[in-house]
Structure 1
Amino acid sequence: MTRATRDAGQTLPLFVWVAGILLFVSFAFFAFAQAASVRNGAQTAADAAALAAAQAGREEMVQGLLAAEPGMEGWGRWLDADNLVGRGAADAAGELAARNHSRVTSFARTTVDGSPAFKVTVETNYATGTSVIPGAASRKAKASATAVLRSQCALDGEDGGDITLDCGVGSVRRFPASDLSGLEFPAPSKIFDVYLAS
């Protein structure tokens, strides 16, 4: 047997070993990427569900504001979210979670810095599939998000006097005390801001 033949015989097992390691690493990388994709999908679904709940809350608050007894007290209760019930918020969250192939596992109303908020936890309807990583096969992902509903407007006025609704630059409305009917409020997004809590 020549030296070249002996070297070839020694190189082949090394090549097979290295190829096996590389194959395992590639499968492991794919498994991690797949798990990250499922986690990202869960977070996207949670964010969308929480925002949908807060937007449903904003719709309720705007409708209540428009139907309230005109004046500091009637409008103030809605601008301060004292009358917020959250009707339809849970259903809106569930619908958006389903659109993102997930389901709501927990839904709660809470507060963030004094403003009403909705916290939603979801679980994906899909899993990671098979994996070479122990314990990582066929696992679903969970994620949570909290969306805040914050009033951007402030009421100012004395009893029996004109009322000013200040919703920021370009959105200041003055209502004469002599006639508080037939008023036009700013757009809902100007009155109540909806955003994800950090």
Structure 2
Amino acid sequence: MTADNRTARESGQASPLYVFMVASLLFLALAFFAVGQAGAARNGAQTAADAAALAAARESRDRLPLSSYLDMDSLTDLFGGELIGPDGCTAGNYYAEQNDAGMQSCVRHFDRWAYTVTVESRNPVGDTVLPGTESGHAVATATAVVEPRCTFEAPDDGDSPTPGSLSCDGDVLELDPTDLPDPSHLFDVRLAED
């Protein structure tokens, strides 16, 4: 056997290895793309859940009839976090739909002024090399809470014309039943970790 024959015969042996490596790399690239698609769908669903939970809590805060809570016990409970405002799930549903998701549930908590919303993305992850993703939808959950920005202080005198005062960041506000502040000035809405 001559050196020229051996070189010609050995040059074709690496081709199957290269084909296998290229096919493997192509499959890995497609798998990473599928994971990226799933991650994007999950992020979109989480955005929708966050927006829906915040909207539900904000709607509840903004519709709070503060004039209904002007007795000392109610104000103490309201600013102590023991009372909650009206239902806000309708606004949560609207914001879920605006973010291309459907609201699966909106839970109004009764141990604190909070809403937990679960949404499902309207669009599936799509066709990928991974089986089952073509009909899979991303699901996400978020909780938003309404917290007082102020603390309530009852009047010293039982015959006081005012139901009490609010201390908000060092400023004292005497409550006037004929000119009540907007609830958005008294309560903050934020996302919670749970």
Fold similarity call, TM over 0.5:
yes
Report the aligned-residue RMSD.
2.2
How many pairs does the alignment contain? 185
* 1:74–1:136 distance in 2 versus 1, CA, 3 Å: closer
Q: Which amino acid aligns with 2:100?
A: H
Q: 1-side partners of 2:69 and 2:145: how far apart?
A: 26
Aligned partner of 2:90 in structure 1 is 91
* 1:81–1:92 distance in 2 versus 1, CA, 3 Å: farther
Give the 3-state SS of the residue equivalent to 1:10 in structure 2. Answer: coil
How do 1:41-56 and structure 2 match up within 5 A? 41-56=44-59
TM-superposed CA distance for 1:43, in Å, is: 0.7
Contact 1:77 1:83 in 2 (8 A): no
Q: Equivalent pairs: percent with the same residue? A: 36
TM-superposed CA distance for 1:76, in Å, is: 4.6
TM-score normalized with structure 2 length? 0.84
Q: 1-side partners of 2:85 and 2:180: how far apart?
A: 21
Q: 2-side partners of 1:183 and 1:15: how far apart?
A: 80
Q: Which amino acid aligns with 1:94?
A: N
Aligned partner of 1:173 in structure 2 is 173
Q: Which amino acid aligns with 1:49?
A: A
Q: Which amino acid aligns with 2:86?
A: V
Could you tell me which runs of 5 or more consecutive residues in structure 2 were left unpaired when the two chains were aligned.
none
**Is the aligned partner of 1:182 residue 2:178?**
yes
**Is the aligned partner of 1:115 residue 2:112?**
yes
Give the 3-state SS of the residue equivalent to 2:31 in structure 1. Answer: helix
Q: Which amino acid aligns with 1:68?
A: S
Aligned partner of 2:151 in structure 1 is 154
Provide, for residues 2-60 of structure 1, a one-character-per-residue CA deviation record: whole Å limited to 9, x for no partner. 23322221011111111100100000000000001101111111010000000001111
Q: Which amino acid aligns with 1:118?
A: Y
**Is the aligned partner of 1:129 residue 2:126?**
yes
TM-score normalized with structure 1 length? 0.83
Q: 1-side partners of 2:69 and 2:192: how far apart?
A: 32
TM-superposed CA distance for 1:127, in Å, is: 1.1
